[in-house]
A and B are shown apart, each in its own frame.
Chain A
């Protein structure tokens, strides 16, 4: 599309400082640190830079009580970091082995993406698990009393080896 300064709509006059300069040039040169970091920081350092955590509001729940889960990802470094991921769903969580409390496979394309952080950035996401596991397209089953592991990981095949995983356990007990 033609810009306004490409048209003849505005009269140019170098003596008049209030006329448009003619080009969208930035006032000063700056470095795109995110692109710089993505190009030059080795993947090993990037993965070590990110701290992954999962926590719950309690450790013991009664049957049927919603479990409030908080996931936290933090860039420890003072410059931007982007971690390449194997999926556009850049992180996932799981109850025992059920990804996102869902035993039914989801349609998420198998293509790479990136999980990006600004310098020192902390990202927090929350979920509420209602103590049910999806067992079919339209059916969920409540879980019984017991100990359950909640895991969060960045979507990379080598997430475990590179420490991009965290786990916590909760206990579900019968109502007193």
Chain B
């Protein structure tokens, strides 16, 4: 039994423009101590999937289908008391845009200590001491003084670290990080990533890393789920994904990573834009942007299949390399005509993709 099992999760939002199916039949699992990346463009449904794990989807959205099991317990059937204990203690989240996640009129330390008190981990001065030690643990210098500082007195990287300290305050088994490095400069990004690596090894915390940065994924993740228009379109180990991207969207994402010294005048991009969530295309949701699309892609939506055998995977949480493209079921006549060039075999992220 995995730590977290998400099966056929579907989340809808009801807007005046129509029904937005932000997450559509998403399945994956996370083992204890493992880091799983969820990648995709803005609007792919990554953050909604992350919020769903803690049942933080608010009106006008709701989870309409599927199951979320944490250590075998059905999260969707939790009472409000169970949910309160589950959030923070079992699964914690560091929200996107950490500066908005902190209350500007309370000191940072007090906000960390409040989380500790609310979950009954410690009280009074013990909570304060614990908060200071957590701030130290995430690399905030002079944590005892910084405890009394307000969020506006922290730099972007320090705020991110403070939010991480808050998420780690109850030593959760699973940490959901929604774009933890977005908006940080590269040196701070590297520090935050190192911190995550250290934390996951010392606390044995599993991490669900939501990001659109494939460099972060290459460096930090064990397995990856690539999302497009609310659906998982590829699932693989990080090595398989980078050395053998099996969906044209994944290949397009990799091709659009800037590389120093490749001499290109322009960055390759994926043409078009993310599918309209209230009026998604028929068939494969990626077909209007796919350079290899054929008529079958307009009328049949491919499910996740094993890229080796082309067989649908009955166990939605199977650890194989899966992709949702007609190429792997033999329905695509022309095939996928990109090749992966490995510039430096010593690093998984060194591969280049030429679509």
Contact = CB atoms under 8 A, between A and B. Distances in A.
Interface of A: 1, 4, 88-90, 106-109, 113, 115, 123, 125-128, 130, 132, 134, 137-142
Interface of B: 10, 12, 14, 16-19, 60, 62, 64-65, 103, 105, 279, 281-283, 298-303
Contact of A130 (B19, B103, B298): B298
A141 B303 CA distance: 18
A128 B77 CA distance: 38
A126 B301 CA distance: 23
Q: Which of B16, B62, B64, B282 has the most CB of A within 10 A?
A: B282
Contacts of B62: 109
B233 to A, nearest CB: 13
A130 B281 CA distance: 8
A141 B14 contact: no
B27 to A, nearest CB: 15
Contact of B19 (A89, A115, A126): A89
Given A127-B279, A130-B282, A132-B282, A107 B298 contact: no
A106 B60 CA distance: 17
B35 to A, nearest CB: 31
B7 to A, nearest CB: 16
A88 B298 contact: no
Contact of B65 (A107, A115, A128, A141): A107
B299 A107 contact: no
Nearest to B17: A125
Given A4-B105, A89-B18, A108-B19, 6 more contacts: A89-B19, A115-B16, A125-B18, A127-B279, A138-B300, A139-B301
A132 B60 CA distance: 29
Contacts of A107: 10, 12, 64-65
30 contacts: A1-B103, A4-B105, A88-B14, A88-B60, A89-B18, A89-B19, A90-B16, A108-B19, A109-B62, A113-B14, A125-B16, A125-B17, A125-B18, A127-B279, A128-B279, A130-B281, A132-B282, A132-B298, A132-B299, A137-B301, A138-B300, A138-B302, A139-B299, A140-B282, A140-B283, A140-B298, A140-B299, A140-B300, A141-B299, A142-B299
